[in-house]
Structure 1
Amino acid sequence: MASTGPSELNSPSRAAAVLHRPTVTLGEHLGRQLSGVCDAVGVGLPDGGSTRSLLDLLGPSARRPPTAGPPSPSFVSDDHCPAEFSVSFPTADAPTVRVVVEPGCAARSFAESGRVGRRALEVLAERWGFSTGPVDRVADLFFPATAQGPFALWCAMDLRRNRPPGVKVYVNPACHGRGLSPEVTEEALARFGFGRAWPALLEHAASRGPDHDEFLFFAMDVGDWQTRRVKVYVAHRDFSASGVQAVSRLLPGGRARRLGEFCRTVGGTESFGRRPLVSCLSFTEGDSERPSGYTVHVPVRDYARDDQVTRNRAATILRRYGMDTDALDRALAAMTRRDASEGVGLISYVSLVQSTRLPPRLTVYLAPEFYEVRPPREPAAPRTDGDGQ
């Protein structure tokens, strides 16, 4: 999970930022972080242990120094860096690492950005031997000649132990204008055979209208996956942990209370009136009327004083599910040398996946902080039981 929607939802803090000026290029900075995070959790890099695929996705932007500024106002990360990392902790398996990149971040238009992104995806497909068929199926829908913002295509690589990388593609339901996002999302679901799921999704996850429940992303799995999914992301403005519980009732099995408790723990609050909570509904073969997976993404950096608080809250959840926190701490150390209490935003989101087919999974999202570090929030947010060491 990279962002929460249009730029006004993901702009850097108005407070004076603590400037962070690496002396390396964007590609070198991201490459070092990716290598370090993979080492921290025991995941190998693809392409013979190199960062070649990451650099290919970045294209010419990889050579930019920090003093040149972001190639565009990308909202993949808060400082407009066109990349983000995450570490996923399945309760019954080893951690995995994901990196998401906006390949067309330096394009002059959203239509051009989509073309650049599709070419970058084709390079990966040829190298790793997978089909771009899912993206081709909806190309006319998501890549119009007059495409609108806030983005065209993001590409993510999931790096796992002893398996080829999995690839995900995120496209923009607002490509024809924000007002048409529901219609675009409904049509995309129908093309993948999930048209009958639309009424329940609309009723449970987007009933308050586009000003409160906004369709952000449509995502597709391509590449090496045991079960391929398509996913719909919805941002909920002025939402609550109880609201998340209501959305999660799309899934059978009484998981609602667990997800509400997760939001309260990692967010430190019941109500989320700053940056929106984000729901992700995932559909796989056989999901005719309901999703088989639900993920809630909590934008923790807007609900905590600093990254030490967000780290401790994430660690509380890891321990609650019987997982070790050492891998999280090693990943954080690989991302930055600064103390966690010196800024907020290194940990951007924490999410929890509930599925009818797989065990729960916690994911911690990490910002590269290539252009700046946001200072701690003042005054300090109230601390909860999970905030302590």
Structure 2
Amino acid sequence: MALFDHKKPDAWSCRPTDKFALQCQPSPQAIKPTLSAAPASAPMHPVIDGTYISEATRQLTLLSEAVGQDEVTRDKLLHALQFSGGEWSQGAIPQELDRSAWVSDVSNDHSPFEYSLALSQQTGACELRFLIEAQPEDKSLAALQESTTRLTDDIAAYYGPTKVSLDRLNLIRDLFLPSDAEGMLALWHSFATSKTLEKWKLYLNPLASGRENAFAVTREALQRLGLGRSWELLETILTGDDFPIYFALGLSPNPEDAEVKVYVAHVGASATQIAHKHVQMDPNASVHAIEQFYSVMAGGSLGPYRGKPGLSCFHFKNADPSRPAARTILYPMDTYAANDAEAQQRIETYMDVIQAPPLYRETYRKAISAVQRRPLEAGRGIHSWVSMKEKRDGKRSNTYYLSAELYGCLVDDGPADGDR
């Protein structure tokens, strides 16, 4: 999950002149990580000689095996990947991305797919997902709308009404897919599997009609979906440079259970400011837990994060729209870690802090080894985002968003400084 349209003034980007400085003075409450030894890396596969779908299948198969999925679950995952790949995925992966042309914003290196791994802090149980964008032949936003909409309809037709419903999408389609859309995101598709679930989700662009209309679009979408009370709650925490950046819609045919997620970007905010917004949304939220997460992931800094900002995601359901069903905070690791080895060390430290079960640590390590094709010290970008989710019952999980790195790692002048 990257950031769309980096070249427009209403988006942000990592400033190439910013230098990362762990020696910056953190707030007194910040946690300096005690770095543990990184696990041994798996054999490297630096050269990609194949198609988009063959490489995605290879990486996702290794990830599925690494996290211990059974064969039935893995088959569902791979079938969904191949189904959503379509004809474009049969094309050969170029040795170098043409950045002068239209590129995908699904992943931080513009790969058209990304993987994510959700791990329970209590048990280490795993949910594996992929995010994909149906690539058009004509590299334009209008063509992208057409190709992604076609895939949506194909998914609904193939999986049938007992698994997928487009009823709610049809209520809000015009808001997110206007004829004069802006940006680089039309519609992304996500598929998740575990031993207990199989679900499709769509990611839409609240800024499709311009950043100045993002609030109105989000409000109208929630109201049409019967979640007007959710908007009223969400509106109370939107301050300063906050704005909705993603709108996710679950395709479950059960309208009471189908989830809507609103992602909010907190530009220039600190961990403490973000934490207090979550307390406003849910009095049971823990300022300490949120600050702890951000501090460890940021190498001891509570911010403010002035490069790529931290995000919040608020999950709403029609069963009770007056409060979030869950809340998530996201940290852009690819922007603030010098390389993936450092990112992994911070994550290992966080595991110690939360006393993660052995299965959690083992699954995470195996997943990184499965997806990487270079030494972690060689660059940054495998770790894209890291998140912490908390449900109403207090159970927490972490999700690691992993780049496929089809076009290489991020090797500009360095990550942004987390404090300045």
Q: Normalization by structure 1: what TM-score? A: 0.87
Q: Which has the higher helix share?
A: 1
Q: Which moved more, 1:264-273 or 1:125-134?
A: 125-134
| Structure with larger RCO (C-alpha < 8 A, sep 6+) | 2
Report matched runs for 1:134-153 at 5 Å.
134-153=168-187
1:155 aligned onto 2:154 = no
Contact 2:73 2:194 in 1 (8 A): no
Overall identity of the aligned pairs, in %: 27
Distance 1:31 1:192, change over 3 A: same
2:351 aligned to 306, 312, 318, which one? 318
Instruction: Report the Cα offset of residue 65 of structure 1.
Output: 2.1
Give the partner amino acid of 1:97. L
**Structural mapping, 1:268-283, within 5 Å:** 268=299, 269-271=301-303, 272-283=305-316
Deviation at 1:159, TM superposition (A): 1.6
Match of 1:386 in 2: none
Instruction: Give the distance between the partners of 1:348 and 1:48, measured in 2 at CA.
Output: 26
Distance 1:275 1:183, change over 3 A: same
Report how many residues are paired: 373
My pick for the range that moved more, 54-63 or 372-381, is 372-381
Q: Distance in 2 between matches of 1:143 and 1:12?
A: 28
Alignment partner, residue 220 of structure 2: 187
Equivalent AA in structure 2 for residue 303 of structure 1 = Y
Q: What amino acid does structure 2 have at the position aligned with 1:214?
A: F
Tell me if the contact between 1:232 and 1:281 (Cα under 8 Å) persists in the aligned partners: yes
Partner of 1:385 in structure 2? none
Are residue 77 (structure 1) and residue 126 (structure 2) matched?
no
CA distance in 2, matches of 1:159, 1:72: 31
What is the aligned counterpart of 2:64 among 31, 38, 61?
Answer: 38
Which amino acid is the alignment partner of residue 51 of structure 2? T
Whether the aligned pair in 2 keeps the contact of 1:111 and 1:143 (CA below 8 Å) is no
Q: Aligned AA for 2:318?
A: E
Further displaced range: 333-342 or 316-325: 316-325
Indicate if the aligned counterparts of 2:171 and 2:224 stay in contact, CA closer than 8 A.
Answer: yes
Deviations 1:327-378 (A, max 9, x none): 1111111112322111111001110001214610101110000011123875
Q: Which residue of 2 aligns with 1:288?
A: 321
Amino acid at match of 1:138: I
Q: Tell whether 2:124 aligns with 1:100.
A: no
Separation (CA, whole Å) in 2 of partners of 1:348 and 1:104: 21
How far residue 282 of structure 1 moved from its aligned partner, in angstroms, is 0.9
Structure 1 residues 68 and 306, CA gap change in structure 2 (3 angstroms): closer
Amino acid at match of 2:386: V
Cα distance in 2, alignment partners of residues 69 and 381 from structure 1: 27
Deviations along 1:150-181, one digit per CA (max 9) or x if unpaired, are 21100000121254x21110011112222111
**Residue 261 of structure 2 contacts residue 314 of structure 2 at CA under 8 Å; is this kept in 1?**
yes
Q: Alignment RMSD, CA only?
A: 2.7
C-alpha displacement at 1:264, in angstroms? 0.7
- Residue 92 of structure 1 deviates from its aligned partner by 4.2
Distance in 1 between the 2:153 and 2:355 partners?
38
Render the CA deviation track for 1:248-305: whole Å, top value 9, x for unaligned: 1111214222111101111121111111111111101233333232111100121111
Partner of 1:122: 153
